[in-house]
């Protein structure tokens, strides 16, 4: 039996409306994308607890064991970033993305920007007065370098992309609370610091933006 005209018209309008819909991506401060309206299989408080449980024995243990002095990394990267990555960094097999370097260095803060929530400091490691690395001070920490530098973290172990992004946020939060929140932000220039952290780099000459897991001020 043919459908009444009003019902036919309503169905046509509904299908037309659905055809015009699309999924919109939402990009968070860490640079991760998540589908709007999606739900994570791992709520933030659960992921924070997982990070807390593995922080000392896995995360910090890896950084303490694998971190390479920045003075070694910089010329190696400038010479051949792929060779430097193979020797000193981590990149998930087949990803083709940035190399994720774990590093440590001691230097002098030569410039600082603490007027924003994404505060940073430029650190000179060779005494020439120019910054060799930009250290994130937060509280907003950009990027996913801490997560992506950990070889025991596998995307397939997480329920979805949103959970994977939450892991990065939880790692950054833990790093900020432990290493950066206690730092006195006044008169940073001229102070000496020892830093352990990670940075991601896809090509030589890019910004060395380090997210610290440890930052210690050194007395002059």
The dihedral built from the CA positions of residue 115, 120, 122 and 123, taken in this order, carries a sign that is: positive
CATH number of 59's domain? 2.40.50.420
User: At CA 74, angle to CA 70 and CA 78, rounded to 5?
Assistant: 165
Q: Say yes or no to pLDDT of 109 above 50.
A: yes
Banded pLDDT at 22 (limits 50, 70, 90): very low
**Cβ–Cβ under 8 Å, residues 74 and 132:** yes
115-156 tens-digit pLDDT: 999 999 999 999 999 999 999 999 999 999 999 999 998 877
Give the C-alpha separation, 109 to 203, whole Å: 25
- Work out the average pLDDT over 145-172: 88
Helix, strand, or coil here: 118?
strand
More confident residue, 109 or 28: 109
Return the structure tokens found at 108. Answer: 């002098």
Domain ranges, residue 152: 5-218
With a threshold of 0.85, does the pTM exceed it?
no
Backbone dihedral angles phi then psi of residue 136, each to the nearest 5 degrees: -75, 135
How many structural domains is the chain composed of?
A: 1
> Residue 175 and residue 200: Cα distance in Å, rounded?
16
């Amino acid at each position: 039996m043919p459908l009444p005209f009003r019902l036919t018209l309503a169905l046509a309008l509904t299908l037309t409306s659905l055809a015009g819909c699309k999924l919109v991506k939402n990009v968070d401060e860490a640079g991760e994308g998540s589908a709007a309206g999606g739900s994570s299989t791992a709520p933030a408080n659960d992921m924070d607890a997982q990070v807390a449980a593995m922080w000392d024995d896995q995360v910090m243990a890896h950084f303490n064991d694998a971190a390479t002095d920045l003075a070694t990394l910089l010329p190696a990267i400038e010479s051949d970033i792929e060779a430097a990555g193979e020797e000193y960094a981590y990149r998930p097999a087949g990803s083709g993305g940035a190399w994720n370097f774990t590093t440590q260095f001691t230097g002098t803060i030569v410039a600082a920007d603490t007027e924003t929530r994404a505060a940073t400091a430029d650190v000179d490691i060779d005494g020439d007065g120019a910054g060799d690395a930009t250290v994130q001070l937060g509280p907003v920490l950009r990027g996913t370098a801490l997560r992506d530098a950990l070889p025991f973290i596998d995307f397939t172990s997480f329920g979805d992309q949103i959970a994977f992004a939450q892991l990065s946020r939880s790692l950054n939060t833990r790093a900020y609370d432990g290493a950066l929140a206690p730092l006195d932000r006044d008169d940073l220039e001229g102070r000496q610091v020892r830093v352990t952290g990670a940075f991601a780099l896809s090509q030589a000459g890019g910004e060395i933006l380090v997210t610290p897991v440890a930052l210690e001020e050194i007395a002059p």
